[in-house]
Chains A and B, each alone.
Chain A
Amino acid sequence: AQKVTQAQTEISVVEKEDVTLDCVYETRDTTYYLFWYKQPPSGELVFLIRRNSFDEQNEISGRYSWNFQKSTSSFNFTITASQVVDSAVYFCALSLTGNQFYFGTGTSLTVIP
């Protein structure tokens, strides 16, 4: 069975602090894809990143970085120098080759000015 766990339900940080959102996944498949999506208060899910199971390279995009570790089945997301506009719910998701997405329950991030 597939499962995505986001243990942090809510996080609050002060603007300019760094914050890491945790994601742990479970699957027995060797080929899979991991995603992060942002859901701002407006409600629309915004794609942030996709990673396949064969690519463990970490990725940086501006203030965002992702740390993929197969050994611990984790795909964590770090926001550096957080801003108020980063306030949203962030979802981690797992997809197998059948294209079905399995989402975590999300982490609600509040950045306090």
Chain B
Amino acid sequence: DTGVSQDPRHKITKRGQNVTFRCDPISEHNRLYWYRQTLGQGPEFLTYFQNEAQLEKSRLLSDRFSAERPKGSFSTLEIQRTEQGDSAMYLCASSFTGLAASDTQYFGPGTRLTVL
């Protein structure tokens, strides 16, 4: 049983460039989440999907951030016109929603973004 995978693991970009990260959830999981983690802090929730529907996006950091999950499987997180403050670890998690309202989230290894 494979876990959550993320690609790339590391990304270095210049300020002003666009970047896109991919997340592949655990195969039977219907919910997918994106978080940002900066040094010395806990993960900060950004957005989540149930199947292909984006149910919460108000906590995306700015309109430069967007996420998609077009077929309800993998998801992408895009940051446009990157800024140095965007440098962080971007984490993806997935869960299966059953009878419990809040099921356990399983996390991927993260994508570390460095904006020069």
Contact = CB atoms under 8 A, between A and B. Distances in A.
A100 B49 CA distance: 11
Contacts of B105: 47, 101
B104 interface: yes
A100 B104 contact: no
Contacts of A101: 33, 35, 43, 45, 105
A17 B102 CA distance: 34
A21 interface: no
B110 A99 contact: no
Interface residues of B, number: 28
Interface in B90-112: 91, 93, 95, 97, 100-110
A61 interface: no
Contact of B108 (A44, A47, A91, A103): A44
Given A50-B104, A99-B31, A99-B102, A104 B42 contact: yes
B56 A98 contact: yes
A37 B106 CA distance: 10
Contacts of A50: 104
Contacts of B62: none
A16 B56 CA distance: 44
Interface string A47-59: 1001010000000
A31 B43 CA distance: 22
Interface residues of A, number: 28
A64 interface: no
Interface in B70-116: 89, 91, 93, 95, 97, 100-110
A35 B109 contact: no
Interface in B31-77: 31, 33, 35, 40-45, 48, 56, 59
Contacts of B33: 99, 101
Interface of A: 4, 31-33, 35, 37, 42-47, 50, 52, 91, 93, 95-106
